[in-house]
Structure formats: C-alpha cells, structure tokens
Amino acid sequence: MGLIARIFGVLFGGDRNVVRETVEVFRENAEAGAERGVHVQLAAMAAQSAEFRQTGRSRFDRIMDAVNRLPRPMMALGCLGLLGAAMVDPVWFSARMAGIALVPEPLWWLLGVIVSFYFGARHQAKGQAFQASIVETIARVPGVVENIKHIKTLDEESVPDDGNPVLEDWRKNQRR
C-alpha cells in the first residue's frame, strides 16, 4: 500500500470523512440544514393546524367568535355613516354632537379605557383632541343655521338682472 493510499485511508476510511467533518465545524452542511428546515416547517404547520382545528366547538363558541369580529367594521362603517349624515343634514348632525358633548367626563374616560383595551394602545390625548374638535364644530352651528335660513329665504328676484337671456327664460318659466 502506497503513501497516498494510507493517507486516503486515514482521511476517508472507516465510514468517516475527516475533511467533511472538519468543514462542518465551520460551515453547515446544506443538505442536513435543509432537512432540519423541513422538519421545523412541518412542526410549525402541525402546531398551527392544531391551534385552528374546529373540533368540539359549540354553537355558542362559534357565535361569540363571530360577535368578536364585529366591533371594528361596525365602528368604521359608523364613522362613514356619521360623515355622510354631516353632509346630508348638518343641523341634525350638530344636534347629535351637542348631545355627545353633554356626556359626563368619567363616562368618556371609561369608554376610552374600553376602546383602548380592545384595540390596543390608544392615547387619551387623541380622545381629548377629538372632543375639542366636536366643541369647536358645535360652536359654528348657529352660523350654519343662519346661513341655511338665509339661503332658503332667497328668491329668484333677488338675483340681479344682468341681461342674461337664459336667466330671463328661466324666470319666465318660474312665473307660469
């Protein structure tokens, strides 16, 4: 047996690969790492499927899960509805907001705590700024009401006659 054969026998004999074992100390074996990754992924998917498995859930549990999904969409749609109501009937909207301004401060604090707990990390300063903006809006209500009354009392004769033929035709049709 030659020198080279003995060296290879020492390095690779006895189902060992000294070079591979030495390199794996410094660099992960890609094939073994991929195999471990597959096992980790399979374990994670099994844990997740066990967590969301619907076995043995009563009708009450399913109903409560459905109810717990309602507050956020209802609040978002309610805000959009309030925005629409403010545009359609500002006086009606302002009257409702005036009623909200009369809610006692401790009740606002309680509502703030509940909403903060449910949605997480809401700051009281934002709620107080919202309340201040409501008060500012309500302060403008008398001016808005006066403007609406003024607009309703206008008639077509108060528009100055500037020789506009279309306007004159419209006035003739209104008199019939």
Task: Give residue-wise pLDDT tens across range 38-74.
Answer: 888 888 888 777 766 666 778 887 787 788 778 878 9
The CA distance from 22 to 155, in Å, is 98
DSSP 83-106: HHHHHH-HHHHHHHHHHHHTS-HH
Taking Cα atoms as reference points, which of 137, 135, 115 lies closest to residue 124? Answer: 115
pTM for the predicted model, two decimal places: 0.33
Would you say how long the chain is, in residues? 176
pLDDT score, position 122: 47
Pick from 22-36, 94-108, 117-131: least confident: 117-131
